[in-house]
């Protein structure tokens, strides 16, 4: 011990233990604990020679996510990125005897590996320019070189492509519903609860440390990139969510929509928006993990995650119905959930038409979940008709417990209850929002908290508006199912989710080109 940097230069692995990094690492650890507790005496292990492989992989997954969160240099961020990804592939395809599980894991692996290669090439370009790997030192090296040029633009686009693939932003998102459809429920809790959010966190971290100076990418260019992609991701994700009947895919598309909202928030580049997104991410993690946990109960009780096939079959599961409804209200941003506080702070920061996107996306995704509550748990409305050959239903699924459970194990209801309570605590515990704001300021304004997030009347009213809109959409869908059925223009959108790896790879290339086109005016014309 006792090693000291010489002339401000350090040799070794750089870790950044500030508020955002440690906060994301803590979130990953707590959700891993919740997922392991949920799977206690529940998950059907592989044959005895592989006993213990599932919890071991879960802990490796946690380690990869924690390392990524606190990495202070780009190359080690890439290493943790790859560790996290490789373990996630194995967890997604745990049931190797099922062809669809292998296909979903393979699609996940190919698409996100392509993103990782892009990120590595971008790191190589930045290293060639600066001779540095630590993010802050790369930023200083770019500033010393002068204004941005084609090499900086290429490095920015390649690194951002890798991170946005992990974040499942449009048009890099196609792997996410396919992976969630086949991954075990505890794995889905981590994929949507924290792994996808780590991709968004990576974008925020890398831009602030590497590209925010005069030698990097102008702020106007980043705002254009993230706001445009964020709006498209939120809108398309919400539409995809509404027209799903496979419950895991429905929740996965909801994650895509909320990723768009997170990107909009960090794209406006204000401390207030960053604070709002941080609170939103924490609340969303608890809500989304709880909803996946409840969906796992339906799968293991009835052998299906098809909203239509489950119509009215879960009437006896009153406690689970309450949890599902509470999760839907949390997605809508109903005060006093943490999602509501984060959403209201972010809405105030982004302002104008972007507020409409926040209200609409949260209302549509929550309305889809409330529709599930009404049909599956209450048996309301007629059984909806089939919507065509392009619908992935979720019928005939194999229970993850190895057999259908007649009595729901305690951990499978206790865990989502605790997760929803935690999401509620984010919005109501005194001083917690201020603590988050102080942690975010450590990486921004040097520890100076410019303003403490708090409830405001407009924010509460917008939260109530999105909740009422969600309830209204669900009511119309249940009472008049043909009115909000998938229109003809939605069929091509569903065809894009083809399941073919080649199609998804092509969309990654399209997305990278789109990033370059959006960022180019800022680099070539100074904004």
Higher pLDDT among residues 216 and 422, named by residue: 422
Q: Is the pLDDT of residue 447 over 60?
A: no
How far apart CA 237 and CA 251 sit, in angstroms, is: 10
Strand partners, 15: 71
**pLDDT tier at 493, thresholds 50, 70, 90:** confident
Give Cβ neighbours of residue 169 (< 8 Å, ≥ 6 apart): 199, 229, 230, 233, 256, 259, 260, 263, 511
Domain boundaries along the sequence of the chain: 15-217+501-527, 219-496
**DSSP string covering 372-428:** HIIIIIS--SPPPPP--TT----TTPPPTTSS--SS--THHHHHHHHHHHHHHHHHH
Q: Is the pLDDT of residue 76 over 50?
A: yes
**Secondary structure of residue 42 in the 3-state scheme:** coil
Cβ–Cβ < 8 Å for 164, 225: no
- Output b/e per residue, 181-206; b: 16+ Cβ within 10 A: bbbbbbbbbbbbbbbbbbbbbbbbbb
In this predicted model, what pLDDT tens digit does every residue of 188-234 receive, in sequence order?
Answer: 999 999 999 999 999 999 999 999 888 889 999 999 999 999 999 99
**pLDDT tier at 27, thresholds 50, 70, 90:** very high
In this predicted model, what pLDDT tens digit does every residue of 381-413 receive, in sequence order?
Answer: 887 665 555 455 545 555 565 556 666 777 788
């Amino acid at each position: 011990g006792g090693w000291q940097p010489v002339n401000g230069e350090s040799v070794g692995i750089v870790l950044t233990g500030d508020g955002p990094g440690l906060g994301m690492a803590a979130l990953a650890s707590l959700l891993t604990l919740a997922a392991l507790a949920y799977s206690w005496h529940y998950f059907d292990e592989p044959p005895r020679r592989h006993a213990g492989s599932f919890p071991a992989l879960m802990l490796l997954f946690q380690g990869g996510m924690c390392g990524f969160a606190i990495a202070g240099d780009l190359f080690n961020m890439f290493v943790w990125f790859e560790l996290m990804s490789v373990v996630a592939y194995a967890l997604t395809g745990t049931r190797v005897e099922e062809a669809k599980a292998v296909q979903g894991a393979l699609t996940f692996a190919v698409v996100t590996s392509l993103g990782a290669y892009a990120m590595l090439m971008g790191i190589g370009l930045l290293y060639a320019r600066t001779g540095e790997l630590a993010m802050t030192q790369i930023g200083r090296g770019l500033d010393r070189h002068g204004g941005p040029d084609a090499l900086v633009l290429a490095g920015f686009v390649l690194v951002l492509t890798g991170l946005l693939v992990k974040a499942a932003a449009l048009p890099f998102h196609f792997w996410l519903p396919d992976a969630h459809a086949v991954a075990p429920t505890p794995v889905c809790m981590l994929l949507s609860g924290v792994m996808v959010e780590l991709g968004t966190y990576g974008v925020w971290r890398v831009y602030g440390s590497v590209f925010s100076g005069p030698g990097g990418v102008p702020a106007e260019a980043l705002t254009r990139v993230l706001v445009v992609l964020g709006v498209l991701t939120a809108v398309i994700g919400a539409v995809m969510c509404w027209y799903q009947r496979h419950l895991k895919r429905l929740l996965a598309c909801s994650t895509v929509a909320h990723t768009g909202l997170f990107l909009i928030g960090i794209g406006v580049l204000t401390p207030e928006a960053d604070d709002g997104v941080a609170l939103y991410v924490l609340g969303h993690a608890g809500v989304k993990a709880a909803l996946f946990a409840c969906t796992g109960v339906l799968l293991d009780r009835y052998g299906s995650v098809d909203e239509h096939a489950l119509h009215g079959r879960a009437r006896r599961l009153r406690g689970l119905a309450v949890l599902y409804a509470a999760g839907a209200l949390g997605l809508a941003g109903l005060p006093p959930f943490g999602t509501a506080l984060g959403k209201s702070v972010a809405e105030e920061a982004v302002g104008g038409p972007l507020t409409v996107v926040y209200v609409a996306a949260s209302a549509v995704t929550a309305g889809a979940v409330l529709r599930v509550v009404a049909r599956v748990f209450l048996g309301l409305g007629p059984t909806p008709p089939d919507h065509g050959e392009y619908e992935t239903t979720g019928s005939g699924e194999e229970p993850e417990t190895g057999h259908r459970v007649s009595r729901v194990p305690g951990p499978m209801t206790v865990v989502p209850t605790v997760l929803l309570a935690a999401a509620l605590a984010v919005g109501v515990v005194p001083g917690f929002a201020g603590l988050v704001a102080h942690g975010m300021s450590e990486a921004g304004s040097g520890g100076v908290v410019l303003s403490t997030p708090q409830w405001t009347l407009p924010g509460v009213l917008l939260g109530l508006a999105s909740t009422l809109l969600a309830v209204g959409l669900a009511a119309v869908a249940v009472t008049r199912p043909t009115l909000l059925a998938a229109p003809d223009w939605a069929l091509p959108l569903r065809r894009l989710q083809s399941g073919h790896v080649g199609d998804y790879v092509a969309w990654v290339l399209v997305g990278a080109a789109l990033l370059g086109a959006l960022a180019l005016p800022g680099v070539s014309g100074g904004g």
